[in-house]
Amino acid sequence: MTFLITLLAFAATLELLVVIHEGGHFLAARFYGVRVIRFSVGFGPILWKIRGKSGTEFALSLLPLGGYVKMLDSRDPTTPALTAKDKAEDFEGKKLWQRALIVFAGPFMNLLFAVLILWGIGFVGTYELSSRVAAPPQGTPAAAAGVQAGQYVIGVGDGDVKTFADLQMKLLRVAGTESTITVRDADDKTGEHAERYPIDLRSVNFKGDPNKTNPLEHVGLIPWQGDGAVPVEEVIKGAAAETAGLRKGDQIASVNGNPVTGAVMLVKTLRSSGGDEMTLGVKRGTETVSLRIRVPEVKDPKTGKSVGQIGIRVGGFPDVVRVRLGPWDSLTAGVGKLWDMSVLTLRVMGKMVVGEASVKNLSGPVAIADYAGQAVQVGLLPFLLFLSMMSISLGILNLLPIPVLDGGYLAMYLYELIVGRKPSEQAIGIAQRAGLLLILFVTLIALMNDVTRLFGG
């Protein structure tokens, strides 16, 4: 069942984003009088089709792995000789700036779609992790900067921070540099007495495997999870926790002698310890007792993966804040997130090219399908956020100046504008073959990363 949900979520995500993208090309082409021969959702044999009033054939094809818009193009060797009417609707016969706008409209629609999703989420309102942080581990940049447990981070560099997601994005933007961090105490509601500290982030980079290490973990800023010990709110009858002697009202203070810093840390530790035996340090009234427990391994119904579970419900989860903005503020916030995500994406890509970031940051279709399936199972909001991030990624990817992508065509149009003539058919053919080989190579690396993640390598 989980596999089916993952597959359907991936197909729905991919096809929706492709329809948005190709719809941009289609609308721009029709606006400038270019004849669109076919608008297909999917590739391969056509399963169903209908012809519109403009003569465009709208089709549903067998393989739901993308889609395409086929325009009347005199450069296409399969195009028959054009009549005078045909020439008026020929893509290649349009002015340079019109062709460029038709090509740009695809990625633009993906970016616009993402902003609209983010605008809607901001306007409706969500609950998000606050920017309150726990005690930074010794030796981390946050600890060296002087950040203390329970403080709120309200700024990184010149950027304001309202939620933990804001904090993460702002930190990633300045990773690898020296910057500043602004914090306020919990009782300083207005930030009147906020303090700004210099913070050295030169050691934070993207060289590691993102599945094994998070660059932000090196900063030392983690969500506030209370004052440490985690309260047990319920013990399931007959579960391992009850057998070990854990009771409702107990407070779990340590695991194997290591202090517990909050509910998230405790849950993460338990889930990764399936089959292991551990010692829990438990506060019970004025006493502290040690309980030995073997963590049963069960299958997570949402992910299908084996995890540890002892049969308790705990409290003490991180601070959350209600984020709800007006129509204009939601729009500007959406555009801001688009900008942050775009800059970060291009920055990481650039670092991968020069060897300053690991190629393991690349995700292929298997990982994307897994993320889509998990987002759908968690709820509508996480899926919409995932959809917006994917739409931004698709838009940015297509704007890269790589032949066969939209950005490659825009680069050729720039050449035409500067030189005053179109590239030769031979040059275009060579460039497109090179671009296709590059994309296949990157796709192969992404698939290898997927396989490594899948089998825990």
Closest CA to 103 of 32, 16, 13: 32
Is the Cα torsion angle 127, 132, 135, 141 positive or negative in sign?
Answer: positive
Q: d(Cα 201, Cα 4) in Å, to the nearest integer?
A: 42
CA-nearest of 293, 313, 359, 320 to 125 is 320
60 forms beta bridges with 41, 48
Q: Any idea how long the chain is? A: 457
| Maximum pairwise Cα distance, the chain | 93
Is-contact 435 405, C-beta < 8 A?
yes
Could you give the 3-state DSSP secondary structure of residue 289?
strand
Tokens 């941009």 — which residue?
A: 24
Task: Identify the active-site residue in 15, 22, 92, 416.
Answer: 22
The question of whether 22 is a catalytic residue gets the answer yes
List beta partners, residue 155.
160, 182
Annotate 171-187 with DSSP letters as a single string.
HHHHTTSEEEEEEE-TT
Helix, strand, coil content of the chain in percent (nearest 5)? 45, 25, 30
Residue 70's H or E segment, with its range, is strand 57-71
Instruction: Give the pairing of strands 36-51 and 287-294.
Output: unpaired
Cβ atoms 141, 175 nearer than 8 A: no
Q: Which residues lie below 8 Å from residue 136, measured CB to CB, with a gap of 6+? A: 142, 143, 147, 219, 220, 221, 222
Residues known to be catalytic? 22
